[in-house]
Amino acid sequence: MRQSCPVVVLLALAAQLAVAQSSDPTRRDKTFLTRRDLLISGIALGATGLISIFDDDIALASRQPRFRGANLQNFATKVSKVNETTLTAAGILTYGIGRLTRSRTTVDIGLHATEAVVLASLASQIIRSPLGRARPYEAGDTNQYDFKFGAGFRRGDAGFRRRAFPSIHTSSSMAVATVLTMEIHRRRPAATPFVAPVLFAAGILPGLARIQLNQHWGSDIAAGAFMGVLGGYKVVSYSHSHPNNRFDRALKNFSVVPTANGPALQYSPF
């Protein structure tokens, strides 16, 4: 859809930022979050505000008959199952396989993907519950500025209808796409131009599916995409520049060992 172009532009800029900064091996931030991150976040927030102008157009366009075919709806429903829960489980499984096979690369990918998903998901949840932004179907696809402070904390469906901004589906999937892109870039820089577009295209799909399912506005997806990219970038860059950070060190003391009853999780404090 032509109206979704601003989302794609913001996504492309965020992806380029992550890859460009990850290519500098001398960068070593003293803290996890820096003033530079706050500046970039402020710019992204402004861009998201501009994108919100098109939210109702995008929502109404997605409801047109040509976008409402059964096949497209079924595809969107299946893609939307890629969320923070499934991605966290996949990251933990990848981490376990890496420890079992003693593959440092697999451990890094699994650990950092899991950390990035959790970080992006928690940050998104902290934002969207207080804002109480109505989902498109709740606002009739026409009032993208329907906010009720604190309404996202309500129980059940009443709260769910008020947790639109940002999209956790998008932040989680884009966090994983960023982690995979950066880990590949560290090991095979020449492969980045070929792999990154595929990974980021796959990463944005769950968000686009949520628009198709009338669950999110375009600006929800744009904000979620930025948060996922930023979260994935910060986790990978900080972990590799601070290899002995407390969190990674604690998690890496877990190992998967074979037993008579199958693989088991083992922890050693040393």
* Banded model confidence at residue 255, pLDDT cuts 50, 70, 90: low
113 with 213: CB under 8 angstroms? Answer: no
Which fold would CATH assign to domain 2-23+33-254?
Vanadium-containing Chloroperoxidase; domain 1 (1.20.144)
The Cα 237–Cα 220 span in angstroms is 26
For residue 166, the 8-state DSSP code is: S
* Cross-strand partners of 264: 257
Closest CA to 216 of 138, 151, 147, 158: 138
Give residue 224's identity as a one-letter amino acid code: G
Span 151-193, pLDDT tens digits: 999 989 999 999 999 999 999 999 999 999 999 999 999 999 9
Report CA Rg, the chain. Answer: 19
Question: What was the pLDDT predicted at 28?
Answer: 61
Span 2-50, pLDDT tens digits: 444 545 545 554 554 555 444 444 456 667 778 888 898 899 999 999 9
